[in-house]
Homo-oligomer: A and B are copies of this chain.
Amino acid sequence: MASDIFSALADPTRRKILEMLADYDELPASEIHNQFQVSPQAISQHLKILREANLVHVEKRAQQRIYRINTEAMVQLEQWSQSMRQRWSRRLDALEAVLKAEMRKNANAQNEQEESE
């Protein structure tokens, strides 16, 4: 996992930037900035963090910097939540196995009792 995807996603401005990029594919920094009330420098700093987390790609086009979302990095986020689910269900499977074993044991005990009656 690219070191701090989660820190990068912690900021609502950066999440909104990613959502914009998911909707529009490619956007120059200036257009991203238009959607917010803060300075272009502030947005540039957010974009730098998104770049460093490998959540976006940049391409130079004349004076512009064109940003795109990096879907691979987004996949990593999904993988983390999936791995959480797997840990969770692996535990549930183990619990289920124990419960089934318990049920068999009870069923056997029941049978033995019936046989002795």
Contacts and interface: CB of A to CB of B under 8 A. Distances in A.
A-B CB proximity, top 10 nearest = A10-B10, A22-B87, A78-B81, A7-B10, A22-B88, A6-B10, A6-B9, A77-B81, A22-B84, A23-B87
A19 B1 CA distance: 15
Number of copies of this chain in the oligomer?
2
Contact of A19 (B10, B24, B77, B84): B84
A59 interface: no
Interface residues of A, number: 25
A15 B22 contact: no
Contacts of A81: 74, 77-78, 81
Interface in A3-33: 4, 6-7, 9-10, 15, 18-19, 22-25
A87 B22 CA distance: 6
